[in-house]
Copies of this chain bind each other. A is one copy, B any other.
Amino acid sequence: MKLYSYFRSSASYRVRIALNLKNLPYDYAPIHMLRDGGEQLKPEYRKLNPDGVVPTLVDGDNVLQQSLAIIEYLEETHPEPPLLPKAPADRAYVRSVALQIACEIHPLDNLRVLKYLKHTVGTDDETKDAWYRHWVEAGFTTLEQHLAGDSRTGKLCFGDTPTLADACLVPQVFNAQRFKIDVTRFPTIQRIHDHASQLDAFARAAPGVQPDAE
């Protein structure tokens, strides 16, 4: 398998975690999102990924987009170890945590959104940074309530075994920390992040140790 990835992209980071958790080796194809106007927007790459976003996973003849769809594919094609629990209601719960991050937080703080705010809406850097912090903090506030209040929460989002939810949470915390958000205000999120980050599959997926890290 070949993963088109940018070290700092949190959607790429999710898929790297999932590949590592499933012990699947892969080739790393770096796509530099800032260099030269963004390599993800070049026609060559857009043949693989018309949206011009990372990651893309190529598995034989299959070209796969969207990090959560890629992780569900890995779950179906390489079921062990599972990244989703067995019972449908628990699977829905884990997916809802992942989607809360992937749909309610991350899309608002994407590079292209921040660019549009700055260059088209014309906001200053202070307003742009406040925007970033607002959506992370709003999302983390409700995510913290979810996780702190649910009996299924353990050392990780669902018990003590890594799931799709942890694969989304850790990259989002990485992003928040980059933007100097005080994650200790969200103690359950912080605790899960700290535990997960020490696991080998997460540590090997971290942005700082990727081939294209700067």
Contact = CB atoms under 8 A, between A and B. Distances in A.
Interface SS, A side: helix
Contact of A142 (B51, B103, B123): B51
- Assign chain A's interface to a size class: 35 or more
Interface string A41-69: 00000000011110000010010111011
Given A51-B104, A103-B103, A108-B108, A92 B69 contact: yes
Copies in the complex: 2
Contact of A52 (B95, B107, B142): B142
B51 A76 contact: no
Interface in A79-129: 88-89, 91-93, 95-96, 98-100, 102-104, 106-108, 113, 116-117, 120-121, 123, 127
A88 B74 CA distance: 9
A204 interface: no
A131 interface: yes
Contacts of A88: 73, 76-77
Contacts of A99: 66, 68-69, 102
A22 interface: no
A146 interface: yes
A107 to B, nearest CB: 4
14 contacts: A50-B149, A65-B100, A68-B99, A69-B92, A69-B98, A72-B95, A73-B89, A73-B91, A76-B88, A76-B91, A107-B107, A116-B131, A121-B123, A121-B127
